[in-house]
């Protein structure tokens, strides 16, 4: 039994689409003290790591290693011996051309306990997203994964070209784009028909997935200019692509959309966009945190029965309010006799989840609409509780006070600027890799501009800007940013639907 106090997980990050990451991989990332990740691991997976986890980039781009392979092995051993739980996050599957076997050998030699967490290999996922089944009862029952880039120090090829050329129905070559002409030559030379269908798939499962098809005779010319990372698929099954290409028919296929809302709120929005084919980039510009003091909110809760009205303007307000309500040994029954208002359906749904049905939800989800909806009621001398963000527009308390109500504005939470690293986002915007940016509140606009810096407006030229409602769009406009998308209903589902309609190709 090892006396090493730490442990290493060799985790397959999958092919790129974060939805293909495994549940066990997620659990191991959540447990890890150190995460050493590759270039092909989707950065969104790092959100599963603990806030205080040490994140170390050890990837390779264009032949340039952030850390040589032997140093990666030494890093894993050193951190584990220091008592750390280490997650080694590798693109695809760690044991399929991922050098995971070599890293596992290093760990065994050092007496470090480890586990392997398989990932969805790109050899399976990329063809599937291109509409190419690797086996099919009408075409072939055999498939082989082959490296297209053998160890250059080997004297002879370890690939039995004479056997795989005609003995295997479907061939999938990793890392072979630079050697495509040589691969084709060897296959044809050893008996594979030049008319055999073939494809090159670049960035499979991602927004910039690119697929070129042809035959062994034509593929080299057709795929000229294709760069790594890419797979080569050879076999009769490639001909099924025209019939089975499914992901490219999704309305947001090929679109990369930036989400700026707080990370804890982004998942539902991201899921809708990803279901429509988009690749989501999370750039949380704000964090939702407690108010500087709980005392004003706790005091309001203690005298809850004194209020005739209670107004909630966000899901966050409901969440934080309810946490303190529960801490004060109260529940929904304490709202008896109080008229409850919610600014929109999401806020109303959050209340209902906690056993409280909103009496009033305006047809338009703005402060002005809520004031107008309340306006028909007699609120003179009525005491009203408004639980909201510490910083917000004063429309509601000012208008209700003007009509004779006594409004207690109580901070239930604060939105503060997140410490997101903007370098990658700036680079992606410069390179045209972001197709749309979404803003879900005025604070996300302000903090996006603050984080990205003075070139933000210029970087957004040519990018579709989607704002959740007119107030957010107006804030963006004050900074010179035009919102091309503003949904009629000011909700996250409506914003997602508006993005889908905007980008939907004709006939889809």
Q: Which residues are catalytic?
A: 38, 60, 175
Q: Cα-atom radius of gyration of the chain, to the nearest Å?
A: 28
| Token pair in block for residue 172 | 């999938």
DSSP category for residue 30: H
Three-state DSSP state, 490: coil
Question: Across-strand partners of 198?
Answer: 214, 234
Give the Cα separation of 340 and 337 in Å (integer). Answer: 9
Number of other CB atoms surrounding residue 152 within 10 Å: 5
- Residue by residue, DSSP assigns 36-85 as EE-TTS-GGGGGGS-TTPEEEE--EETTEESS-HHHHHHHHHHHHHTT-E
Task: Name the strand (E) or helix (H) holding 301.
Answer: helix 295-302
Q: Roughly how many angstroms between the first and final C-alpha of the chain, as a whole number?
A: 59
Give the Cα separation of 135 and 124 in Å (integer). Answer: 10
Give the Cα separation of 72 and 105 in Å (integer). Answer: 12
DSSP category for residue 500: H
Task: Name the strand (E) or helix (H) holding 232.
Answer: strand 230-234
- Residue by residue, DSSP assigns 208-260 as T-EEEEEETTTHHHHTTT--SSEEEEESGGGGGHHHH--GGGSTTTT-EEEE-
Q: What is the dihedral of CA 294, 296, 298, 301, to 10 degrees?
A: -150
Burial of 174 (C-beta count, 10 Å sphere; 0-12/13-18/19+): buried
For residue 226, CA distances in Å to 134, 175, 183, 185, 430 come to 22, 12, 15, 18, 21
Among candidates 112, 111, 91, 88, which has minimal Cα distance to 34?
A: 88
What backbone torsions phi and psi does residue 213 show, to the nearest 5 degrees? -120, 160
Residue 305 contacts residue 390 (beta carbons within 8 Å): no
Give the Cα separation of 281 and 292 in Å (integer). Answer: 31
């Amino acid at each position: 039994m090892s006396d090493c106090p730490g442990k290493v997980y060799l985790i397959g990050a999958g092919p790129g689409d974060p939805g293909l990451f495994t549940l066990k991989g997620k659990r191991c990332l959540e447990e890890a003290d150190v995460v050493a990740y590759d270039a092909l691991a989707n950065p969104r997976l790092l959100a599963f790591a603990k806030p205080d986890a040490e994140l170390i980039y050890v990837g390779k781009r264009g032949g340039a290693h952030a850390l040589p392979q032997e140093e990666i092995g030494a890093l894993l051993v050193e951190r584990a011996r220091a008592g750390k739980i280490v997650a080694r996050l590798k693109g695809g599957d760690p044991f399929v051309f991922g050098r995971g076997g070599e890293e596992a050998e290093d760990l065994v030699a050092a007496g470090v306990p480890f586990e392997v967490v398989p990932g969805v290999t790109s050899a399976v996922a990329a063809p599937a997203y291109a509409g190419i089944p690797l086996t099919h009862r009408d075409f072939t029952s055999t498939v082989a994964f082959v490296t297209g880039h053998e160890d250059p120090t080997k004297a002879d090829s370890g690939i039995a070209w004479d056997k795989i050329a005609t003995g295997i129905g479907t061939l999938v070559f990793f890392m072979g784009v630079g050697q495509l002409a040589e691969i084709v030559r060897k296959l044809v030379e050893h008996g594979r028909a030049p008319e055999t269908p073939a494809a090159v798939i670049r960035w499979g499962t991602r927004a910039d997935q690119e697929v070129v098809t042809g035959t062994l005779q034509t593929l080299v010319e057709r795929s000229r200019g294709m760069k790594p990372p890419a797979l080569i698929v050879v076999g009769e099954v490639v001909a099924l692509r025209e019939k089975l290409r499914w992901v490219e028919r999704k309305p947001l296929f090929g679109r990369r959309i930036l989400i700026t809302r707080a990370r804890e709120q982004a998942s539902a929005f991201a899921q809708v966009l990803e279901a429509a084919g988009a690749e989501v980039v999370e750039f949380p510009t704000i964090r939702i945190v407690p108010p500087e003091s709980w005392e004003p909110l706790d005091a309001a809760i203690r005298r809850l029965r004194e209020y005739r009205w209670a107004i909630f303007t966000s899901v966050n307000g409901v969440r934080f309010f309810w946490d303190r309500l529960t801490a004060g040994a109260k529940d929904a029954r304490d709202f008896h006799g109080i008229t409850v208002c919610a600014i929109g359906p999401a806020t109303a749904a959050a209340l209902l989840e906690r056993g409280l049905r909103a009496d009033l939800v305006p047809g338009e989800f703005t402060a002005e609409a809520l004031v107008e909806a309340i306006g028909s009621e007699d609120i003179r001398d009525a005491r009203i509780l408004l639980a909201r963000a510490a910083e917000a527009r004063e429309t509601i308390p000012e208008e209700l006070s003007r009509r004779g109500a006594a409004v207690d504005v109580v901070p239930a939470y604060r939105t503060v600027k997140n410490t997101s690293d903007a370098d990658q986002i700036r680079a992606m915007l410069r390179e045209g890799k972001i197709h749309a940016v979404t803003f879900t509140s005025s604070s996300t606009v302000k903090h996006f501009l603050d984080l990205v810096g003075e070139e933000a407006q210029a970087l957004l030229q040519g990018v579709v800007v989607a704002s959740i409602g007119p107030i957010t769009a107006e804030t963006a406009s004050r900074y010179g940013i035009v919102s091309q998308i503003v949904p009629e209903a000011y909700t996250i589902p409506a914003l997602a639907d508006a993005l889908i309609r905007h980008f939907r190709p004709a006939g889809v």
